[in-house]
Amino acid sequence: MSNSKQAVPDTLPLLRERIDSIDSQIQILINERASCAQKVAEVKLAEQGGESVVFYRPEREAQVLRRVMERNEGPLGNEEMAKIFRQVMSSCLALEKPMRIAFLGPEGTFTQQAALKHFGKSIVSAPMAAIDEVFREVESGAANYGVVPVENSTEGVVNHTLDSFRDSRLKICGEVEERIHHHLLVSPNINSEDVTHIYSHQQSLAQCRAWLDRYWPHAERIAVSSNAEAARLAAEAGRSGRAIAAIAGEVACELYGLLKVSSNIEDRPDNTTRFLIVGNQDVPPSGKDKTSLLISAKNEPGALYRLLEAFERHGVDMTRLETRPSLMSRWGYIFYIDFVGHYLDEDCRAVIDELRERASEVKVLGSYPVAVL
Ligand X SMILES: O=C(O)C(=O)C[C@]1(C(=O)O)C=C[C@@H](O)C=C1
Q: 122 or 153, CB closer to ligand X?
A: 122
Contact call for residues 259 and 187 (beta carbons, < 8 A) = yes
* Residues engaged in binding ligand X (CB under 6 A): 37, 40, 56-57, 60-61, 64, 89, 92-93, 96
The closest of 367, 222, 351 to 286, measured between CA atoms, is 367
Residue 103 falls in the annotated catalytic set: no
Q: 56 or 311, CB closer to ligand X?
A: 56
Q: 97 or 363, CB closer to ligand X?
A: 97
Q: 57 or 232, CB closer to ligand X?
A: 57
* Shortest separation between residue 23's beta carbon and ligand X, angstroms: 20
Q: 33 or 221, CB closer to ligand X?
A: 33
Q: 96 or 175, CB closer to ligand X?
A: 96
Q: What is each CA distance from 270 to 2, 180, 200, 209, 265, in whole angstroms?
A: 42, 8, 20, 15, 12
The closest of 166, 123, 165 to 148, measured between CA atoms, is 165
Q: 27 or 323, CB closer to ligand X?
A: 27
Q: What is each CA distance from 53 to 49, 96, 102, 137, 144, in whole angstroms?
A: 6, 11, 19, 19, 12
The catalytically annotated residue of 55, 273, 311, 335 is 273
The catalytically annotated residue of 55, 110, 275, 311 is 275
* Shortest separation between residue 343's beta carbon and ligand X, angstroms: 21
Give the residue closest to ligand X by C-beta: 92
* Shortest separation between residue 120's beta carbon and ligand X, angstroms: 10
Residue 109 falls in the annotated catalytic set: no
* Shortest separation between residue 93's beta carbon and ligand X, angstroms: 4
* Buried/exposed 178-188: b ≥16 CB within 10 Å, e otherwise: bebebbbbbbe
* Shortest separation between residue 91's beta carbon and ligand X, angstroms: 8
* Shortest separation between residue 92's beta carbon and ligand X, angstroms: 3
* Shortest separation between residue 112's beta carbon and ligand X, angstroms: 20
- Which residues are known to be catalytic? 273, 275
